[in-house]
Amino acid sequence: MIKAVLIDIDNTLLDFDAYVQKTMKDGFEIFDLGLYDDSMFHLFRQINTEMWRKIEQGLMTYNELMQERWNKIFSVLNISFDGPTFENYFRDCLFDSAIPIKDAEKILRYLKERYILCVASNGPYEQQLNRLEKGKMLSFFSKLFISEKIGVSKPSEEFFLYCLNELNIERNRQGECEILPSEIIMIGDSLSSDISGAIGVGFKTCFFDKNKSGITNDLPIDYVVSALDDIRRFM
């Protein structure tokens, strides 16, 4: 029986892709970088995914990503502009971005009434906190597990074991039975950071395949949904 739910933020509760497209389009105009088109977003997603994969593997730090991300994108686009300057603009906008995924608030309300509901996110703590607050989602959560605060990132075993331990500290104090790994479910859109990491420590998993890719990398995923409201079918 599921007792606790961990849920990702970006592209699970808040639409990071929509934010990127708007911010790139506005930024290209603000900094006079030429006409923006959708192919540039796809380039961003490719390079950003590659860099976050390196962070997950311990091959890159978040600070290195911030220094290198836009320089690499601009190099491919043959745009002569200082990457860190655009990164600062990009992150300043992200701090206040809270574009909700369809039915996000609805499913959070449903889950909060039935389970211990927690965030499990990679990223800067204050940024993610502020975005949840602006999106009117912060009050739904009992605990916030965010990589900057914890000191390790998904999909590391240490991240998920930290979550498990923190959930049980309070239960031990109250004399309640500990929550087992199999009584926790991780909901997220990333096969690498959310799903594989959770599987590695014995958590249940729900892959939010919002783009209906059908790709699962042959992982033993418990549930796959393409809409958040579909989670109610099995929980």
Q: How far apart are the C-alpha atoms of 64 and 25, rounded to whole Å?
A: 24
Buried b (16+ CB within 10 A) or exposed e, 197-209: bbbebebbbbbbb
Which pLDDT value is given to residue 173? 87
| Main-chain dihedrals φ then ψ at residue 182, nearest 5 degrees | -70, -5
Q: How far apart are the C-alpha atoms of 155 and 192, rounded to whole Å?
A: 7
**Sequence spans of domains, the chain:** 4-14+100-233, 16-95
Which pLDDT value is given to residue 196? 96
The number of CA neighbours under 13 Å toward the Cβ of 235 is 32
Give me the tens of pLDDT residue by residue for the chain, a chain 235 residues long: 999 999 999 999 999 999 999 999 999 999 999 999 999 999 999 999 999 889 888 899 889 999 999 999 999 999 999 999 999 999 999 999 999 999 999 999 999 999 999 999 998 999 999 999 999 999 999 999 999 999 999 999 999 999 999 999 988 888 899 999 999 999 999 999 999 999 999 999 999 999 899 999 999 999 999 999 999 999 9
Please, which residues bridge with residue 208 across strands?
225
Which pLDDT value is given to residue 170? 82
Does domain 16-95 fall under CATH 1.10.150.240? My reply is yes
Which pLDDT value is given to residue 7? 98
Which pLDDT value is given to residue 55? 87
Residue written as tokens 């389970």? 115
Length of the chain: 235
CB atoms within 10 A of CB 155: 24
CA angle (109 as vertex; 103, 110 as ends), nearest 5: 90
The CATH number fitting domain 4-14+100-233, selected from 3.40.50.300, 3.40.50.720, 3.40.50.1000, 3.30.200.20:
3.40.50.1000
* Structure-block tokens of residue 164: 């498990």
Q: CA distances (Å), 6 to each of 43, 73, 105, in order?
A: 30, 32, 15
pTM value is 0.93
- The residue type of 184 is I
Q: CA distances (Å), 77 to each of 23, 42, 81, in order?
A: 17, 12, 11
Contact 204, 2 (CB under 8 A): yes
CB atoms within 10 A of CB 94: 21
